[in-house]
C-alpha cells in the first residue's frame, strides 16, 4: 500500500525529469512517455480508490525519516483518481493539439509537474508538504499559462493568476504556522485528532485557534477557487493553451473545495466561519452567473461560468454539505473539461454548418419569441411550484429519512426547487405544438437529474464521511438559529417570487417602461459590462504601488 501511494505521486515526477533530460534525443515521441506514466499512475490510483471503497484502514505514511507524510484516506484516493483521470485526458488531447507549438517537450514537463503537485497536495499528510504543493501549483500554472512565450498578453494574465495564488498562499502559511505553534507537530492526523479531542485548548489574540485557522483556510480557498474580489484572473486567462484551460477549469480551480474538506475537523469547531464562507460563495455564484450572462466573448463567459460554479461549490461547504462540494467539483470538472476540449471541434463544425435546428427551443431562446397561448394559470402554478418540490422531497426521503432535520439540506432543497420551477416555467412559454409533452419531458429529465444527484451525493457522503456523528457535526456547525433561518427562507422566497413577477410584468408591459427606469437599467448594464470595476480598481492599485516604488528609487538615488 505504502509503495503504491508513493508510486502514484512520484511517477509524474519521474516522467517530467526524463522528458527534461531526453526530450532532445527522442523528439516529439517523448510525449508518449508522459501519457504512459500518467496512465500507469491513473491505474494505480484507481486501485487505491478500490481499496478505499472496500474499506481499507486510513493510513499516514511517513516519507523516510522526514516530517513529510502521505495520506491514504477516502478524500485523497478519490481526488487523486479524479486529478489523474482529467490529467490523462488532457495529456492525450495535448499530444496532437500541441504538436505545432514551440516548447513541446517543455509543455509535457510542466504538465507532469502540475499533475505531481496536485497529487502531492491532495495526499499530503503534513502541513509542509501541503504548503509546498499548494505554492508550487501557482508557480507551475504561471508557466503553463505562459506557454506561448511570444505573447505579452498571455503573460500579463498569467501574472494575475500568479499574484492571486500567491495572495492565497499567505493565509495557508499563516494557518500552518499557527497550528504548528499550538500542537508542535506538522502532522495533519495528529493535529486533527487533538482538535477533535479538545477544540478550545488554544487561543490566538484572544480568539479561539479553530476560528482563526478556519478563517485563514477559507481565505486561501477563496483565492484558489476564484471567489468574488479574488476572481479577476479566471475569466482573463484564456490566452493559455486550450488543454491548460481545461486542466485549470476542470481541476486546479477546485482546490479551494478540497482544502476546506481537508480541514473539516477544524471547521466543525469554528463558530461563524462557515456562515461567512456561505455568504462569499453565494455572492460569487450570483456575480459569476450575472457576468456570464452578459459576456459577448464566449471564452470569458466560460470563465465566469466557472466562477459561478465555484461559488456554488464554496456555498455547499458553507452549509455543511462538504461531500457534496467534492461531488460538485467532480461533476463540474468533467463537464467544463469536455466543453473546453471540444471547443475547437465545435468551432470548426460551426464554420461549415451552424447546426442549429430551427425548432421550439431556438424560437424561444435565440429569437426570444415566447408562446402567446394561455393556459389555466392555477393549474400551471401548481405544476410549476409543486412538481419540483414533490420530486426533490421524494428523492431525498429515499436516501435518508432525517434529511430534512438539517438546515443545509433545506437550503439545497430550496435551490433545487427554484431551479426546477424555473425550468418548468420556461417550458410553457416555448412555442410548441404539444406543450404538455414538453412539460412532461422536462419533469422526467428533472426527475432523472434529481435522483442521480441525490443518490450519487449520498454515496459521496457515505464514502468521504462514513462516521454519521461527524457528518451531523458538519451540518450543525453550519446551522443558524431556527428563527433567523425561517425568516431568511421567507425573505429569499419573496425575492424569488417577486423576481418572477417582475419578469412577467416586464414582458407584458415592458414597452411602457418609464424613462427613469430605462436610465437605471442602462447604468446597471454599464456596471456589469465593466465587470463591477473590480479589475480596474486592482490595476489602479498596482499602478500606484509601482509609481511609489519608482519614486522611492529616484529619491534614494537607486541605492
Partner 1 sequence: MPDLLSILLIAIFLPLFPMSMVFNALLENIKPNGLRVLLFILWPLIGVLIAINSEFVIPGWLLPLALSTSLLYAIRLLTLREVNQWTGFLATSTWSLLWLPVIEGNSAELLYGFAIGMSVPLVLLVLLAAGLERRFGAAYTGLYGGLARTIPRYAGVLVTVVIAAVATPLFPTFFFMLDMVVETISTTPSAALVLLFIWLFWSWAGARLIQGLIVGRASHNKIADMSIASISFYSIVLIVLMLGGIYLAGAIL
Instruction: State the residues that interact with partner 1 by CB under 8 A.
Output: 66-67, 102-103, 106, 128, 131-132, 135-136, 139, 142-143, 146, 149-152, 155-156, 159, 162-163, 166-167, 170, 173-174, 177-178, 180-181, 186, 204-205, 545-546, 548-550, 552-553, 556, 558-559
Query: From CA 45, how far away is CA 85, in angstroms rounded?
Result: 9
Cβ proximity to partner 1: between 21 and 398 the closer is: 21
Within 8 A by CB and 6+ apart from 70, the residues are 5, 6, 9, 60, 61, 63, 76, 123, 124, 125, 129
Cβ proximity to partner 1: between 378 and 556 the closer is: 556
Least CB distance from residue 151 to partner 1, whole Å? Answer: 7
Cβ proximity to partner 1: between 217 and 454 the closer is: 217
Cβ proximity to partner 1: between 155 and 453 the closer is: 155
Least CB distance from residue 211 to partner 1, whole Å? Answer: 15
- The residue whose grid cell reads 476540449 is 341
CB distance 129 to 69 below 8 Å: yes
Cβ proximity to partner 1: between 103 and 199 the closer is: 103
Cβ proximity to partner 1: between 110 and 395 the closer is: 110
Cβ proximity to partner 1: between 153 and 338 the closer is: 153
- Name the residue among 75, 76, 535, 538 with its Cα closest to residue 307: 535
Within 8 A by CB and 6+ apart from 58, the residues are 71, 72, 73, 74
Cα dihedral 92, 93, 96, 100 sign = negative
Least CB distance from residue 259 to partner 1, whole Å? Answer: 17
- Name the residue among 305, 313, 289, 309 with its Cα closest to residue 343: 305
CB distance 253 to 278 below 8 Å: no
At 373 the three-state DSSP class reads coil
Cα dihedral 469, 475, 481, 487 sign = negative
Query: From CA 421, how far away is CA 381, in angstroms rounded?
Result: 9
CB distance 115 to 363 below 8 Å: no
Cβ proximity to partner 1: between 216 and 315 the closer is: 216
Least CB distance from residue 117 to partner 1, whole Å? Answer: 10
Least CB distance from residue 2 to partner 1, whole Å? Answer: 20
Least CB distance from residue 44 to partner 1, whole Å? Answer: 24
- The residue whose grid cell reads 499530444 is 95
Least CB distance from residue 420 to partner 1, whole Å? Answer: 45
Cβ proximity to partner 1: between 178 and 410 the closer is: 178
- Name the residue among 238, 214, 219, 217 with its Cα closest to residue 230: 219
In sequence order, the β-bridge partners of residue 72 are 59
Cβ proximity to partner 1: between 49 and 176 the closer is: 176
Least CB distance from residue 291 to partner 1, whole Å? Answer: 26
> In the numeric block, which cell numbers belong to residue 309?
460554479
Cβ proximity to partner 1: between 176 and 326 the closer is: 176
What length is written for the chain?
559
CB distance 336 to 249 below 8 Å: yes
Cβ proximity to partner 1: between 204 and 423 the closer is: 204
CB distance 172 to 131 below 8 Å: yes
Least CB distance from residue 215 to partner 1, whole Å? Answer: 14
Least CB distance from residue 141 to partner 1, whole Å? Answer: 12
Cβ proximity to partner 1: between 207 and 448 the closer is: 207
Query: From CA 52, how far away is CA 57, in angstroms rounded?
Result: 8
Least CB distance from residue 155 to partner 1, whole Å? Answer: 5
Least CB distance from residue 159 to partner 1, whole Å? Answer: 5
Cα atoms found within 13 Å of the Cα of residue 497, Cβ hemisphere only: 10
- Name the residue among 133, 58, 66, 112 with its Cα closest to residue 464: 58
Tell me the C-alpha to C-alpha distance, in Å, between residue 83 and each of 96, 122, 446: 21, 9, 29
Least CB distance from residue 557 to partner 1, whole Å? Answer: 8
In sequence order, the β-bridge partners of residue 126 are 187
- Name the residue among 70, 225, 209 with its Cα closest to residue 132: 70
Amino acid at each position: 500500500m505504502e509503495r503504491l501511494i508513493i508510486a502514484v505521486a512520484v511517477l509524474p515526477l519521474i516522467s517530467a525529469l526524463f522528458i527534461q533530460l531526453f526530450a532532445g534525443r527522442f523528439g516529439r515521441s517523448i510525449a508518449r512517455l508522459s501519457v504512459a506514466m500518467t496512465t500507469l499512475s491513473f491505474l494505480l490510483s484507481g486501485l487505491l480508490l478500490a481499496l478505499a471503497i472496500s474499506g481499507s484502514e486510513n493510513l499516514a505514511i511517513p516519507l523516510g525519516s522526514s516530517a513529510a507524510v502521505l495520506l491514504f484516506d477516502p478524500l485523497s484516493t478519490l481526488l487523486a483518481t479524479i486529478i489523474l483521470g482529467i490529467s490523462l485526458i488532457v495529456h492525450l488531447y495535448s499530444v496532437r493539439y500541441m504538436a505545432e507549438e514551440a516548447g513541446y517537450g517543455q509543455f509535457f514537463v510542466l504538465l507532469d509537474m502540475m499533475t505531481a503537485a496536485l497529487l502531492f497536495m491532495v495526499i499530503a499528510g503534513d502541513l509542509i508538504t501541503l504548503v509546498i504543493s499548494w505554492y508550487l501549483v501557482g508557480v507551475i500554472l504561471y508557466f503553463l499559462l505562459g506557454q506561448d512565450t511570444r505573447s505579452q498578453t498571455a503573460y500579463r494574465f498569467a501574472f494575475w493568476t500568479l499574484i492571486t495564488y500567491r495572495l492565497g498562499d499567505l493565509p495557508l502559511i499563516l494557518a500552518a504556522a499557527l497550528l504548528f505553534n499550538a500542537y508542535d507537530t506538522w502532522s495533519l492526523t495528529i493535529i486533527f485528532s487533538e482538535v477533535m479531542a479538545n477544540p478550545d485548548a488554544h487561543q490566538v489574540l484572544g480568539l479561539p485557534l479553530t476560528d482563526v485557522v478556519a478563517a485563514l483556510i477559507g481565505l486561501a480557498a477563496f483565492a484558489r477557487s476564484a471567489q468574488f474580489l479574488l476572481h479577476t484572473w479566471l475569466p482573463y486567462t484564456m490566452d493559455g493553451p486550450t488543454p491548460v484551460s481545461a486542466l485549470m477549469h476542470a481541476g486546479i480551480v477546485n482546490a479551494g473545495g478540497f482544502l476546506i474538506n481537508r480541514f473539516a475537523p477544524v471547521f466543525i469547531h469554528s463558530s461563524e466561519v462557515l456562515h461567512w464562507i456561505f455568504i462569499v460563495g453565494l455572492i460569487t455564484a450570483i456575480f459569476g452567473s450575472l457576468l456570464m450572462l452578459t459576456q459577448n466573448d464566449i471564452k470569458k463567459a466560460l470563465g465566469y461560468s466557472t466562477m459561478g460554479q465555484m461559488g456554488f461549490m464554496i456555498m455547499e461547504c458553507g452549509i455543511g454539505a462538504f461531500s457534496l462540494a467534492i461531488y460538485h467539483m467532480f461533476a463540474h470538472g468533467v463537464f467544463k473539461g469536455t466543453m473546453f476540449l471540444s471547443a475547437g471541434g465545435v468551432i470548426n463544425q460551426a464554420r461549415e454548418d451552424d447546426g442549429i435546428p430551427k425548432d421550439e427551443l431556438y424560437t424561444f431562446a435565440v429569437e426570444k419569441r415566447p408562446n402567446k397561448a394561455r393556459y389555466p394559470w392555477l393549474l400551471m402554478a401548481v405544476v410549476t411550484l409543486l412538481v419540483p418540490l414533490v420530486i426533490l422531497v421524494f428523492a431525498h426521503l429515499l436516501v435518508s429519512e432525517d434529511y430534512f432535520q438539517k438546515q443545509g439540506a433545506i437550503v439545497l432543497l430550496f435551490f433545487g426547487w427554484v431551479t426546477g420551477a424555473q425550468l418548468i416555467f420556461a417550458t410553457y412559454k416555448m412555442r410548441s405544438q404539444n406543450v404538455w409533452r414538453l412539460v412532461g419531458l422536462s419533469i422526467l429529465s428533472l426527475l432523472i437529474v434529481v435522483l442521480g444527484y441525490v443518490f450519487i451525493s449520498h454515496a459521496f457522503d457515505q464514502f468521504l464521511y462514513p462516521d454519521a456523528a461527524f457528518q451531523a457535526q458538519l451540518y450543525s456547525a453550519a446551522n443558524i438559529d431556527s428563527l433567523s433561518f425561517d425568516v431568511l427562507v421567507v425573505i429569499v422566497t419573496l425575492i424569488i417570487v417577486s423576481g418572477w413577477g417582475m419578469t412577467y410584468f416586464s414582458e407584458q408591459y415592458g414597452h411602457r417602461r418609464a424613462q427613469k427606469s430605462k436610465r437605471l437599467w442602462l447604468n446597471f448594464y454599464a456596471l456589469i459590462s465593466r465587470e463591477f470595476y473590480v479589475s480596474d480598481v486592482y490595476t489602479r492599485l498596482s499602478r500606484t504601488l509601482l509609481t511609489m516604488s519608482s519614486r522611492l528609487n529616484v529619491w534614494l538615488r537607486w541605492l
